[in-house]
Chains A and B, each alone.
Chain A
Amino acid sequence: TQLLEQSPQFLSIQEGENLTVYCNSSSVFSSLQWYRQEPGEGPVLLVTVVTGGEVKKLKRLTFQFGDARKDSSLHITAAQPGDTGLYLCAGGFPGGSYIPTFGRGTSLIVHP
């Protein structure tokens, strides 16, 4: 079974701080997605990365895919209360099914 480990599990910070969350696997991803989920809602796709070393930016969010395509990070600059939510990474693996494997998520709370 291919597993995705996300860290930290919980994060509570003040508005304006920076933070980084991580997603790691012992296997190589064919592609990796990051989602954000707000309480009581479904996850919303933020970004997909496919190339080792790839960096994508979405306003204050920076996503990086590891060179070996086994890990990824999400960095948020100057966090805002609207960034509060559960951040999930999900990956596809070569030769696997079309079903993404999800990590357990990082629960982020940004206090005003």
Chain B
Amino acid sequence: KAGVTQTPRYLIKTRGQQVTLSCSPISGHRSVSWYQQTPGQGLQFLFEYFSETQRNKGNFPGRFSGRQFSNSRSEMNVSTLELGDSALYLCASSFTGGTGLSNTEAFFGQGTRLTVV
């Protein structure tokens, strides 16, 4: 079955602009999580959506937002971009259909490399 698809793969924006990233999860997966990855901080959790509702949120400013559609596809938006937002943004999908080991198995997309200049 198809994996997690993220678009676009690469993006260059200037400071102050906004950006929208897209993620299509594995068919049947209802949970989509977003992560920011930088060399200095590693993988940092942004937020998780499940059934169109934000279920968990990391410690990021309000400039970072997201949403999930009825088909489980998700978008992430960053407004008023700063140089420090340059990173690899990863989306992960999970089944999270209940208890059991499938709870925390996450399947990642290839990521979107965002560069802010």
Residues of B within 8 A of A104 (CB): 42
Interface of A is mostly: loop
Count, A-B residue pairs, CB within 8 A: 68
Asked, given contacts A97-B55, A98-B48, A98-B96, whether A40 binds B88 with beta carbons under 8 Å apart, the answer is yes
A108 part of interface (Cβ distance < 8 Å): no
Asked, given contacts A90-B106, A97-B56, whether A102 binds B42 with beta carbons under 8 Å apart, the answer is yes
Residues of B within 8 A of A41 (CB): 110-111
Contact B103 A98 (CB under 8 A): yes
Query: In whole angstroms, how far apart are the Cα atoms of A98 and B100 in the complex?
Result: 11
Among the listed B31, B92, B101, which residue makes an inter-chain contact with A48, where contact means beta carbons less than 8 Å apart? B101
Interface of B is mostly: strand
Tell me the B7-61 residues at the A interface (CB within 8 Å). 31, 33, 35, 42-43, 45, 48, 50, 55-56
Query: In whole angstroms, how far apart are the Cα atoms of A92 and B96 in the complex?
Result: 12
Contact B43 A102 (CB under 8 A): yes
How far apart are A29's CB and chain B's nearest CB, in angstroms? 9
Query: In whole angstroms, how far apart are the Cα atoms of A44 and B111 in the complex?
Result: 12
Among the listed A40, A43, A98, A103, which residue makes an inter-chain contact with B104, where contact means beta carbons less than 8 Å apart? A98
